[in-house]
Amino acid sequence: MKIINCKILTEKLIPLIVGANIKIDSITTNKLRKCYAKETSPHAKWALEQIVKNIDIAERTNSPACQDTGMAVFFVKLGQQVCFEGGLLTEAINQAVREAYTDNYLRLSVADPLTRINTNDNTPAVIHIELVGGNDFEICFLAKGAGAENMSRLFMLRPGDGKDGIIKAVLHCVKIAGSNPCPPVGIGIGIGGNMEKCCIMAKKALARIGTANKDNDIAELENNILQAVNTLEIGAMGFGGNCTAYGVAVETYPTHIGMLPVAVNLQCHSARHFKLVM
C-alpha cells in the first residue's frame, strides 16, 4: 500500500506546472532546431529562427514560452494500492493549478462555455484517471492552448478506409488548419476505440512525440504520416517550406467491427508537458 499526502502532491506539482510553461521539452526543442537546419525556404527559415530564439529567451528570462498558457490537462495512472490522505486527488491537482497560475501570473484562460465568465484561477483542470494494478502513481501534464486545439478533428471513418483513409484524414485536418495552430506542429493521433476513446488517445499521444511506438507497424505509420504532412508545404507559421510538422505519435485501441474512429489532436511548437512519478 502506498499513501500519498495530497498537500505534498500539490507542492510537487506547482513548480512543475510553472516550469513546463517556461521551458519547452528538450525533444521538441531539438526537433525544431533540426527543422531550422534543414529548411530551405527563406521565409520559413526566418520563422523557425524566431521560434528557436523565443524558446531560448523564455528559458533565460524565466518567462512563459507562449502567452497562451492553456488549459491544464492531466493524465493520471493510478494503482489500486495507492491511497490518499488529507483530501481528494482531483482537488490536490486543481489546487496546484490554481496556485501555479495565479501566483506566477500565467494567463488565466478558463471560462464558462456559455456565459464566458472567467473562473479567474485556470481551474478546473481536465483530469483523466486510468486505474491500474499495484502501487504505481504517475501524472502527465499538458498545457493545451486554444490555437491548436481548435484545429483538432474527429473522423468516423468506414472500416474499409484503412491506413490510406487514416492518412488522408490527417492530411485533411492539417491542410484545413493551415497556419492557425502555429506550425511546425506535433500531431497526436488516436485510432480505434469509440468516439471519446480515440480523442483521449490522440491528446495523450502528444506527450510521446519523439519516442517511436513499440509496435513496428504503428511506428512505420507514424513516419509515413509525418512525411506526407511535410509534403503539404504549409511550413513554419504558414510561410511554406518543408517542415509543417516536427513529429507524429499514434495510439491505438480495439474498435467495433463497424467503425474506424480517428482523432487528430494538433500541438503548436510550444509543447509544454511533464511527467511526475511518485
Q: Is residue 140 located within the same domain as residue 6?
A: yes
**Single pTM value for the model:** 0.96
Q: Is residue 9 located within the same domain as residue 121?
A: yes
pLDDT digits (tens, 9 = 90+) for 112-129: 999 999 999 999 999 999
Q: Give the pLDDT mean for 66-75.
A: 96
HSE of 147 in the Cβ direction (CA atoms, 13 Å)?
Answer: 19
Q: Is the pLDDT of residue 73 over 90?
A: yes
For residue 155, the domain's CATH number is 3.30.1330
**How would you list the strands of the sheet with 273-277, edge to edge?**
126-132, 71-79, 137-144, 273-277
Tell me if 136 sits within 8 A of 77, measured CB to CB.
Answer: yes
Q: Is residue 114 located within the same domain as residue 187?
A: no
Q: Is residue 54 part of a domain?
A: no
Q: Give the pLDDT mean for 86-100.
A: 98
What is the number of structural domains in the chain? Answer: 2
Among 60-64, 77-81, 209-213, the minimum mean pLDDT is found in 209-213
Q: Is residue 185 located within the same domain as residue 135?
A: no
**Predicted confidence band of residue 251 (pLDDT cuts 50, 70, 90):** very high
pLDDT, position 87: 96
Q: Is residue 154 located within the same domain as residue 266?
A: yes
Which residue carries 507524429 as its cell? Answer: 248
Tell me if 145 sits within 8 A of 66, measured CB to CB.
Answer: yes
Query: Percent of the chain, pLDDT > 70?
Result: 100
Q: Is residue 140 located within the same domain as residue 97?
A: yes
Between CA 64 and CA 209 the distance in angstroms is: 21
Q: Is residue 192 part of a domain?
A: yes
Between CA 213 and CA 126 the distance in angstroms is: 25
> What is the average pLDDT value for the chain, to the nearest integer?
97
pLDDT, position 115: 98
Q: Is residue 155 located within the same domain as residue 255?
A: yes
Q: What is the residue range of 233's domain?
A: 146-270
Q: Is residue 162 part of a domain?
A: yes
The last residue of a domain, from among 144, 162, 194: 144
Question: What is the CA 99 to chain-centroid distance, rounded?
Answer: 22
Q: Give the pLDDT mean for 51-63.
A: 96
pLDDT, position 124: 98
The last residue of a domain, from among 109, 144, 179: 144
Q: Is residue 34 part of a domain?
A: no
pLDDT digits (tens, 9 = 90+) for 218-242: 999 999 999 999 999 999 999 999 9
**Predicted confidence band of residue 212 (pLDDT cuts 50, 70, 90):** confident
The last residue of a domain, from among 88, 117, 144: 144
Q: Is residue 91 located within the same domain as residue 171?
A: no
**Predicted confidence band of residue 25 (pLDDT cuts 50, 70, 90):** confident
Q: Is residue 40 part of a domain?
A: no
